[in-house]
Amino acid sequence: MVQSKVPHRRTIAAVYRYAPVIVLEENLMKTKSALLIVDVQVDFCEGGSLAVPEADTIIPVLNRYIKLFTREQFPVFASRDWHPHQAKHFQQQGGQWPHHCVQDTEGAQFHPHLKLPTGAVILSKGTAPDEDSYSAFQTVDSRGKEFNSLLKKAGVKTLFVGGLATDFCVRWSVVDALTFGYTVELLQDAIKGVNIKSRDSEQAIQEMVRLGARTTTLEKATKMFAGLKKA
Ligand code: VGL
């Protein structure tokens, strides 16, 4: 009698020892990851006024990340350049770039093949004439709420970042995310760069990694999320 109870008690103890931890970890993972898709807009894609080479090739990959995140009920954020017609960001006003992503024009729309989910939070940046911003942490949502406060409110701890362009807006978004203390997973297979100099993207990735970003792929992320379910 006594002997038969011992293993039983042990089993119960083991279950209590591990189960709460597993549940807690799963819950934390459920609220703490988010997907940020940076600037996948018509003007940055093939035929656009500031086309990033091979930009269109990442769109189907991003759509699969979107599926993965929506399945897990993780939040999806999509940033966009949303410039006024005249802005110091543009060459005509002394800036670096040709006109692109002007508010309410075709070029500023998200690429039509990008399948943003209904609940995606749209973040806009560069909306004022004197703004020359690159980072998603310089955006606000439709109600004027800053990206960082939205992430905090949602309890996000890990930010998965993909989109355009590796050497500009992706880079600055990742650098800021790391500065704010987020864990960053850079989507290696869903980023493309401008490469004004041929090695710009490669160097930007090296810099992000040196500052603490991790890199992931659709395959790795899928496995990571599948692991969550089993836990
Ligand atoms: C970007 C150049 C100019 C970007 C924005 O989204 O990476 N690049 N404006």
Could you tell me the pTM of the whole model? 0.87
pLDDT for residue 100: 97
Given the residues 39, 43, 56, 167, the one annotated as active site: 39
Among 40, 111, 137, 169, residue to substitute to test ligand 1 (most atoms within 8 Å of Cβ): 169
Given the residues 169, 176, 189, 192, the one annotated as active site: 169
Give residue-wise pLDDT tens across range 102-122. 999 999 999 999 999 999 999
Report the number of distinct structural domains present in the chain: 1
Q: Calculate what percentage of the chain has a pLDDT beyond 90.
A: 82
Residue 141 is assigned to a structural domain of this protein? yes
Residue 200 is assigned to a structural domain of this protein? yes
Residue 17 is assigned to a structural domain of this protein? no
- Beta-bridge partner residues of 184: 159
Residue 169 is assigned to a structural domain of this protein? yes
The residue segments making up the domain with residue 106 are 28-230
Helix (H) or strand (E) holding 172: helix 171-179
Give residue-wise pLDDT tens across range 122-139. 999 999 999 989 999 999
The CATH number for 175's domain is 3.40.50.850
